[in-house]
Amino acid sequence: MSELLKKLPAVILLCIMLALQAGCGEGEETNAPAVLLTASTVASTTANSHTHTVAIPFGDLVGANTTNYRSSVSSGHSHVIALSTGQLADLYKGYQVQVTSTLADGHTHDWVVLGGTLVYESLCYNCHGNDKRGTSGMSDRPPLASQRGALQNPSGQPFSTATAATPDPNFYPSTVATDGASLYAGSCYCHGPLASSTKRGRTASQITAAIGSVPSMQGIPLNTTQIQAITDALK
């Protein structure tokens, strides 16, 4: 029963989000998009002349535990950022959150995540497209007062002061757990971009042996299936 009570606020918030998406009011759907969103795509700041993006699912804004996100691959590598439970809750309130990624290819990236943008895209976009973005037209819809101001001016909101999370450099979402190119970008970037990797043609047994014996590679958490996926990508 105690576990159920702990999850109840998140369930209530999720129900509010779904109700707002489904019930914007008859006749108010001004420009419903052909492709509906289930997540917000957020770009990093520029470092080493490139950027990355991460996708933050709307469900994470209501009651999620600390969550890691692996970025898109750019310049042959990817990064991981993490949002704590408190930061996710603040994003839902419309606050801004700044996080720094894990190190990859000798550098990190910063992300400034705009809670107001996530709120709009989770509660308003699937009915109105971009028609109401940044306007006062949706200011009476969200249940939280902080969200209403954030919808009009996402970048003008205060930054979250919630305790930050430490991103896990070995995190891979299940959807790319066996994607050889993504696994290589996240774990093997020291050997150069995949297309010109110094390890082209390596076998699964050679990679496994290196992980077990090369000091800088020891501890890389790749299972047999993932190593085979990297091997296939290196052919």
Q: Give me the residues paired with residue 82 across strands.
A: 68
Q: What is the pLDDT of residues 100-152, one digit of tens each?
A: 999 998 999 999 999 999 999 988 888 889 888 888 766 666 668 889 889 99
Please give the Cα distance from 64 to 86 (Å, whole number).
9
- 210 Cβ contact partners less than 8 Å away, ≥ 6 residues apart: 217
Please give the Cα distance from 233 to 185 (Å, whole number).
11
In the predicted structure, residue 85 carries a pLDDT above the cut 90: yes
* pLDDT greater at residue 62 or residue 95: 95
CA distances 209 to 49, 52, 186, 189, 215, Å, are 35, 32, 19, 18, 11
3-state secondary structure of 54: strand
What integer best gives the mean pLDDT of the chain?
83
**Percent of the chain with pLDDT strictly greater than 70:** 81
**Nearest alpha carbon to residue 158 among 146, 145, 143, 144:** 146
The residue type at 142:
P
This prediction has a pTM of 0.70
Q: What is the pLDDT of residues 194-225, one digit of tens each?
A: 888 999 999 999 999 988 888 777 667 778 88
In the predicted structure, residue 65 carries a pLDDT above the cut 90: no
**Pairing label, strands 67-70, 53-57:** unpaired
**Nearest alpha carbon to residue 154 among 118, 200, 187, 111:** 118
CB-based contact 10:63 (threshold 8 Å): yes
**Pairing label, strands 96-100, 110-114:** antiparallel
